[in-house]
Amino acid sequence: MRPAPCALNLILMRGIMSENMKVLFLSSEVMPFAKTGGLADVAGSLPIALKNAGIDVRLVMPFYRVVKDTAFENQMLIKDLEIPFGDRTLKANIFETFLAEGIPVYLVEREDMFDRPNLYGDSKGDYYDNLERFSFFSHAALKTSQAIGFKPDVIHCHDWQTGLVPALLKGPYKTSNGLSNAATVFTIHNMGYQGIFTPDKLAVTGLSGPQYFHPEGLEYWGNISLLKAGIIYSDAITTVSPTYANEIMTHEYGLGIEGILLNRNKSLHGILNGVDYDEWNPVKDKHISACYSRKSISGKKKCKEALIKEIALHPNINDKPLLGMISRLDKQKGLDILIPVLEAILGLDTGLVILGSGDQEIENALRKPADEHPDRVAIHTGFNNPLAHRIMAGADIFLIPSRYEPCGLTQMYALKYGTVPVVRATGGLNDTIEQYDEKSITGNGFKFGPYDSKAFLKAVKQAVDIFKDKNTWKKLMSTGMKYDYSWGRSAESYFDIYKSIKR
């Protein structure tokens, strides 16, 4: 798997090996085992960069049905581990599998909680017992660490599903064997998912005392917020880009938690996500029709031809700009500003392919233009990683008109695939995409500011106009392909934070 860049690696090795840092990484999804979005990409690749830098990192995640079905090699490590669950204890089996570089991943098995078709819910909504499931998971992660005798210096928690852990470590686990010295980092991947539950369920968390349920604790407008618990009780908070770190301290993006984040702003850090270039790299992508590189780009044309065939667009799109989008179909992702100008975008003589899963209403709204222009528009629904790779390689222009975007990974993938991004200037999109400037011939893509269809269409039109100038377009693609967002630098920033909170 991908090591951190060499020189940096050495610096890190020297720094970390002497400290013998141990990190327990808790995530509700990890690539390649289970994924619904970017969190899985991060949780599957950041630990590898940390391990390459000398950290003893181990992960804990639920043993979902999808993990069992994909038949990753695993073995049972602990049978019938007792896990606190409200005023009872329940049992879990702990299995072990491995990420690249021999990184242990402990899988928490409990059939009634995790052996389900999906990770968090289905088309009817979230599973009714997500508080129970992820409280159980949080306790199980801590109990697993104790049971295997792993004494973490840092427990790195991700998103609301693990937000209870920092609170548990300041409360019932404060003096627990092997955990009393563990500092916590809580990473916010998306403020839009807060883990809100009704207060009558508080007892299940193990934090039922009045000292936790108040506005300075995990109470949020009368409910329980697990995201807020993570923010309040962790030793350091990170989010996934510098711009998003600033945005979430404002009323517009903070969703009512901005005041608390402002209070904790000295402990809040924006660290840009990295990319796993072993997985997302046209030089060796096993899902695409022809591999290619910046120096030998001809394969991209073949990928476009193959994609157009696969999604049954008219062959004449081979000579026109093909726009691509891969996204959760969610209000966050800007489809509400895309749909009103979809006809106008097609009016620019383009083709369009969208791969998305999520909101049924958004899917229905996209179906209409696809039905009206079957040879120009292809809408594919469902989660399809191989097709995502083929769109990344086969499209010319990649669209990300997000209302907000904590980091965004697809724009960084797009750059590597020579697929020029058109993005809204928010969060990590703002930090990674630089507006193309015709005079100085600088920049790697196209950005727009106001969240409206007109501004978006203008940026798309700009991209389409430049596309027609083959030489300039080639340079733009080539510039983007040079960008390197691998994990080395970000891993160094996480390491600095771990060091600063280590007890």
Residues binding ligand ADP (CB under 6 A): 37-38, 41, 190, 326-328, 355-357, 383-385, 388, 407-410
Q: What are phi and psi of 397, to 5 degrees?
A: -130, 135
C-beta closer to ligand ADP: residue 233 or 413 = 413
Rounded CA-CA distance 339/76 in Å is: 49
C-beta closer to ligand ADP: residue 13 or 283 = 283
C-beta closer to ligand ADP: residue 106 or 398 = 398
C-beta closer to ligand ADP: residue 329 or 497 = 329
Confirm if 324 and 379 have CB atoms less than 8 A apart: no
Residues paired with 138 in a beta bridge: none
C-beta closer to ligand ADP: residue 281 or 357 = 357
Q: What are phi and psi of 427, to 5 degrees?
A: 50, -140
C-beta closer to ligand ADP: residue 70 or 385 = 385
Residue with tokens 């083709």: 351
The nearest distance, CB 26 to ligand ADP, in angstroms, is 17
98 token code pair: 């491995």
The nearest distance, CB 183 to ligand ADP, in angstroms, is 26
Q: What are phi and psi of 62, to 5 degrees?
A: -70, 150
The nearest distance, CB 306 to ligand ADP, in angstroms, is 18
The nearest distance, CB 485 to ligand ADP, in angstroms, is 12
Residue type, 129: D
Helix (H) or strand (E) holding 355: strand 351-358
Closest CA to 53 of 503, 501, 500, 499: 499
Residue with tokens 């606190």: 84
Closest CA to 78 of 91, 67, 68: 91
The nearest distance, CB 43 to ligand ADP, in angstroms, is 11
Using a 10 angstrom Cβ sphere, with 0-12 exposed, 13-18 middle and 19 or more buried, the burial of residue 192 is: middle
Rounded CA-CA distance 155/24 in Å is: 5
Cα→Cα distances 365→63, 340, 356, 370, 377, Å: 35, 10, 13, 9, 13
Q: Is 65 helix (H, G, I), strand (E, B) or coil?
A: helix
C-beta closer to ligand ADP: residue 183 or 399 = 399
C-beta closer to ligand ADP: residue 19 or 310 = 310
Confirm if 341 and 334 have CB atoms less than 8 A apart: no
Rounded CA-CA distance 166/141 in Å is: 12
C-beta closer to ligand ADP: residue 271 or 326 = 326
Cα→Cα distances 331→78, 269, 335, 337, 405, Å: 42, 26, 7, 10, 11
Q: How many CB atoms are located within 10 Å of the residue 177 CB? A: 9
C-beta closer to ligand ADP: residue 32 or 254 = 32
The nearest distance, CB 439 to ligand ADP, in angstroms, is 31
C-beta closer to ligand ADP: residue 218 or 275 = 275
Q: Which residue's CB atom is positioned nearest to ligand ADP?
A: 38
96 token code pair: 């072990």
Rounded CA-CA distance 36/159 in Å is: 13
C-beta closer to ligand ADP: residue 16 or 275 = 275
C-beta closer to ligand ADP: residue 82 or 126 = 126
Helix (H) or strand (E) holding 78: strand 75-85
Closest CA to 353 of 311, 383, 314, 386: 311
Closest CA to 230 of 176, 175, 158: 158
Rounded CA-CA distance 310/85 in Å is: 49
